[in-house]
């Protein structure tokens, strides 16, 4: 699975949300700094070449849909982030979020309960 650029990832989130869409429909979802139509079309074709997107042809136009599920991408992204930024340690990742006050003690207890109930 190839790494996506920030813009490609943004477009993938739109396609995951819409399930299938024409370039025009993707364009309508971009509210901040929308690219030119041709640029967006190129980005989507790049996603297709990378194996993230498929399409159905309707004459000269294409309706695109995600091939890679968001869960699959999330799993890959999280493993890579944890490997690169937290020395492959989930403990380091959780403690980082605790120190940054991005996770509460109640949420940590809930996570522990989920882990204990899974056993």
Average pLDDT over all residues of the chain: 92
Mean pLDDT (whole number) for 13-42: 95
Q: What is the pLDDT of residue 119?
A: 61
| 109 and 90 within one domain | yes
Mean pLDDT (whole number) for 13-24: 97
> Rounded distance, CA 79 to CA 46, Å?
24
| 91 and 112 within one domain | yes
Q: How many other C-beta atoms can be found within 10 angstroms of the C-beta atom of residue 68?
A: 19
Q: Tell how many helices (H) and how many strands (E) occur in the chain.
A: 6, 3
Range of the domain at 19: 6-66
In a domain, 30, yes or no: yes
pTM above 0.85, yes or no: no
In a domain, 87, yes or no: yes
| 56 and 22 within one domain | yes
Percent of the chain with pLDDT over 90: 64
In a domain, 26, yes or no: yes
pLDDT at 74 over 70: yes
Here the CATH number for the domain that contains residue 54 is 1.10.10.10
Mean pLDDT (whole number) for 24-39: 94
């Amino acid at each position: 699975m190839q790494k996506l650029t920030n813009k490609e990832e943004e477009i993938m989130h739109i396609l995951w949300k819409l399930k299938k869409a024409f370039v025009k429909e993707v364009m309508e979802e971009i509210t901040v700094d929308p690219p030119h139509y041709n640029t967006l079309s190129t980005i989507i074709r790049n996603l297709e070449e990378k194996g993230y997107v498929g399409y159905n042809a309707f004459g000269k136009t294409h309706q695109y849909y995600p091939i890679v599920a968001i869960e699959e991408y999330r799993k890959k992204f999280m493993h890579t982030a944890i490997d690169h930024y937290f020395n492959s340690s989930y403990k380091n990742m959780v403690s980082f979020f605790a120190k940054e006050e991005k996770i509460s003690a109640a949420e940590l207890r809930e996570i522990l309960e989920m882990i204990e109930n899974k056993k």
